[in-house]
A and B are shown apart, each in its own frame.
Chain A
């Protein structure tokens, strides 16, 4: 048996806690794929980018993998097929990702003009892990172009072996809480819209000066994330009100929280948990100021290691239960998908993720003009919002598979009302 094959037998990775759910939701027209992009100050050379990808991928053993099915769980096994191959970018990002595609990679790389984009299946990692790969590829690309780029700030040293902590399932390490939180929550308002045909993902991106947005958030006495959450809740509240429902439902956002900020870990794999800032319009009419305050209070109360530790312990306990572990995979798939469709998906009105500030090392920083993030196709007919900050640019990208743009319009006009300059870009056909 060859050395490589013998290594593969040892180096397989069970899916982490979040990663377990996404493959069960896989449909012909849906995959949990997110996209990260970096715009450089020069046109991308595809041949050099391919070289950079080929050199960077082996440094990330949990990304150079293929998804396989076991009897009880899915797992990731090292993938030695050629690839992933860089491709010219397309108008419909975050296409479904087949587990049985030709190369079986769960990562895609695209180039378009000055932009390098990377799409990743969510079972491999969250935005933070994905950003490390993209930064490393971009840094290596610039090195091949003759630019000196240092390591650090997420750019990995390609000559260094991966640290075992980068490959760990951090959920298992920190699921130690004595308390459990509720698995079910109240059903939230859901945006109804006309579904677009297959292979259509509508993106509306607003680019905002960070200094202006921060100034406005400061005026309300909240953080930028809280302000943006408030604006999205406000947009959804206006949308629900315009539909004149008999009984208004709570407006809830599903907001992934990066647990690395609360629990020290350098894992490259998923380490997020969902928080649900919300308002209940049945309690009365909310002004925008009240919504922002409500979100602020929720965040201050919930986003701490105690509450979030209980959340991950609850989810982990389900997975670690011996009775659940011995259930065959196809039954687990059936049950998890049913739970997600009937409960999880219905308990939020939209998704909002904030990647925070992207910091780049010397060399890469000077050549990078913008960073964008796209949360990918929503599971149901609604819209998802992803936010990232790089230098003085705040990129807010809405991804939706519905035709209507009411939520996006209400959100961005709210920002304009607060005297924030918004520049709109879209892939929608005009």
Chain B
């Protein structure tokens, strides 16, 4: 039998500290008793059974019926172009993007992102099948889509594993945005003009660079960091 020296209450056998005031329990026999005592409350945690299949089924049915209706309209009524392929492809991308969120309680972010990247790539491939142009799919679409996937993946991975501050997240976001705009323009110019050069993205890239430099300075200087925290608190 143990009592809390601070509150004066008796504590059940398995408690190692008082739950009311967190004062540790000192009892020479405590260690022995604590192992023997059956806990008053169970240790296993429970979770609610949520039926998510219904929403997934409803969502899938809505998308499939949209695809079927557009396909039928395209084949029977508006037959000039194969426009329904774009709608069907779009529905496919939407389905791939939403299904993990509906079906799985905690979807694996990187796997979901990989699936999204593949779905968008396939959609672009489908469009390039009808409009091959000068090889825009391989030269522009694929690099831009997969750089986007890589950058989002890095951001999500860093945010989940390292749990950085808001300022650190913002600096990573701006750094990625700067690199992404520069890369996109380089790829576009290479495709359309046949050479690498920079114009508008130099401005956005420099803006992002300045913001990143300012944020890193704020992060490294504790006085500045506190000042920002004080003024920007919500």
Contact = CB atoms under 8 A, between A and B. Distances in A.
A316 B42 CA distance: 41
B193 interface: no
B56 interface: no
B46 A90 contact: yes
B12 interface: yes
Interface string B8-38: 1111100111111100000000000000001
Nearest to A421: B10
Given A412-B20, A416-B8, A98 B51 contact: yes
Report the interface size class on chain A: 35 or more
Contacts of B42: 88-91, 112, 427
Contacts of B20: 204, 405, 408-409, 412-413, 424
Contact of B45 (A101, A113, A199): A199
Interface of B: 4, 7-12, 15-21, 38, 40-51, 54
Nearest to A202: B19
Given A102-B51, A424-B15, A409 B21 contact: yes
A90 B7 contact: no
Given A90-B46, A91-B41, A421-B10, A430 B17 contact: yes
A424 B51 contact: no
Interface in A172-216: 199, 203-206
Contacts, number: 97
B1 to A, nearest CB: 9
25 contacts: A91-B41, A95-B47, A101-B49, A101-B51, A102-B49, A112-B41, A199-B45, A199-B46, A205-B40, A206-B9, A405-B20, A412-B9, A413-B7, A416-B7, A422-B9, A423-B11, A423-B12, A424-B11, A424-B12, A424-B15, A425-B15, A425-B40, A427-B41, A427-B42, A430-B16
A96 interface: yes
Contacts of B54: 100
A232 B20 CA distance: 15
B120 to A, nearest CB: 30
A90 B45 contact: yes
A426 interface: yes
Given A204-B19, A424-B18, 20 more contacts: A87-B46, A90-B46, A91-B45, A95-B46, A100-B54, A102-B49, A112-B42, A113-B38, A199-B47, A203-B41, A204-B20, A408-B20, A413-B7, A422-B9, A423-B9, A424-B4, A424-B11, A424-B19, A426-B15, A430-B17
Interface in A376-416: 405, 408-409, 412-413, 416
A428 interface: yes
Contacts of A11: none
A92 interface: yes
Given A98-B48, A102-B49, A409-B7, A425 B43 contact: no
Contacts of B21: 405, 409
A100 B51 contact: yes
Nearest to B14: A430
Contacts of A97: 48
Nearest to A112: B42
Contacts of A101: 48-51
Nearest to B13: A425
B49 A424 contact: no
B48 A430 contact: no
Nearest to B51: A100
A377 to B, nearest CB: 12
Contact of B41 (A87, A100, A423, A425): A425
B45 A422 contact: no
A426 B48 contact: no
Select the residue from A88, A91, A96 with max chain B CB neighbours within 10 A.
A91
Contacts of A409: 7, 20-21
B40 to A, nearest CB: 4
A413 B5 CA distance: 12
A416 B47 CA distance: 36
B180 to A, nearest CB: 34
A425 B50 contact: no
